[in-house]
């Protein structure tokens, strides 16, 4: 008999080591706090350590082993080593046991329920990745506000999809700029996916191509190349990069009260700031939520080394 209680739609997040575990645990708490109807499924690779597994098991968080994806031509990510792990964020396309997967980065927290993403119209798997709504995502911000010298030269504000929305901030709360706007690159931190073996095969085939050596941003570079213009643009509120709020970046469209999901891109992460106050108010939001998570866990008898309040 099939298990009729098994979820058909899930949030997923990838983890390869304990560095992001504080973020993952707080992300999972935030989904529950905002009353999501759907569980978080942790996708782990073989490098994820035993104490990390114990932390997930203690909290009864679902988990599934996934392969560690790598391209055939290895890209040098010395300046951004986190990108070595990011290829494996493409595995949700292969999770055929689910009809809908929404992949979240572990350095996110959800502040408002966004279950509507589970019902967003996307191409049926029967289209085999050939339609115009293959997946949904918010745009990547290509402004390079920290002026990192190794970023592509065309990563400038005039090429950013969010810049195009500055004149229409009200519309930016509910509608993403067209997927081909600016450089047309989705941010890989949140991906809404209808798993499809054929679509996943296209991704795996691209990983075998030498062109991956030119992908500066791993998974999101691949998606923007293989499915250029064939993805659904979500408004920034679903993947609100913390840098968008910074003065002079995209504060023209950012509205605290509308943001559903904050993405703590770049370093430091909020959990790196032990005992210090951040100059980024969104980090304080994370610390407040994390402290709630710790209190909730202690109240139900969960006690291990992953209950730090970072104050």
Each of the 311 residues of the chain gets a pLDDT tens digit; together they read 445 679 999 999 999 999 999 999 999 999 999 999 999 999 999 999 999 999 999 999 999 999 999 998 877 777 676 777 899 999 999 999 999 999 999 999 999 999 999 999 999 999 999 999 999 999 999 999 999 999 999 999 999 999 999 999 999 999 999 999 999 999 999 999 999 999 999 999 999 999 998 998 999 999 999 999 999 999 999 999 999 999 999 999 999 999 999 999 999 999 999 888 889 999 999 999 999 999 999 999 999 999 999 97
Which residues pair with residue 102 across a beta bridge? 11, 192
Could you give the CA distance from residue 102 to residue 105 in angstroms, rounded to a whole number? 10
Q: What does DSSP say about strands 232-234 and 135-138: parallel, antiparallel, or unpaired?
A: parallel
Domain annotation for the chain: domains and CATH numbers: 9-299 (3.90.550.10)
Query: Do residues 125 and 99 touch, judged by C-beta distance below 8 A?
Result: no
DSSP one-letter string for 61-106:
-EEEE------SS----TT-TTHHHHGGGGGGGG-TT-SEEEEE-T
Report the run of H or E that residue 241 belongs to, with start and end: strand 240-241
36 to 8, 258, 288: CA distances (angstroms): 14, 17, 20
DSSP 139: B
């Amino acid at each position: 008999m099939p298990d009729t209680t098994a979820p058909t739609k899930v949030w997923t997040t990838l983890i390869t080591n304990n560095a992001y575990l504080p973020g993952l645990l707080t992300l999972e708490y935030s989904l529950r706090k905002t009353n999501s109807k759907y569980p978080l499924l942790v996708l782990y690779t073989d490098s994820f350590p035993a104490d990390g597994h114990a932390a997930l098991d203690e909290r009864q968080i679902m988990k599934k082993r996934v392969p560690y994806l790598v391209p055939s031509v290895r890209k040098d990510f010395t300046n951004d080593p986190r990108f070595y792990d990011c290829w494996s964020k493409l595995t949700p396309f292969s999770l055929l046991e689910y009809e809908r997967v929404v992949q979240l980065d572990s350095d996110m927290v959800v502040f408002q329920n966004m279950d509507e993403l589970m019902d967003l119209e996307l191409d049926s798997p029967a289209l085999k990745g050939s339609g115009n709504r293959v997946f949904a995502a918010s745009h990547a911000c290509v402004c390079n506000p920290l002026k990192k010298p190794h970023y592509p030269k065309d990563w400038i504000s005039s090429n950013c999809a969010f810049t195009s929305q500055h004149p229409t901030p009200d519309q930016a709360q509910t509608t993403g700029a067209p997927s081909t706007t600016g450089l047309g690159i989705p941010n890989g931190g949140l991906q809404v996916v209808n798993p499809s073996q054929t679509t996943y095969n296209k991704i795996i085939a691209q990983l075998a191509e030498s062109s991956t050596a030119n992908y500066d941003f791993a998974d999101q570079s691949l998606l923007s190349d293989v499915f250029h213009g064939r993805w659904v643009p979500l408004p920034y509120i679903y993947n609100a990069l913390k840098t968008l709020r910074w003065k002079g970046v995209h504060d023209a469209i950012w509205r605290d009260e509308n943001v559903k999901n904050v993405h703590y891109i770049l370093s430091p992460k909020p959990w790196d700031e032990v005992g210090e106050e951040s100059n980024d108010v969104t980090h304080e939001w994370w610390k407040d939520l994390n402290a709630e998570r710790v209190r909730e866990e202690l109240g139900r008898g969960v006690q291990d080394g992953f209950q730090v309040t970072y104050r």
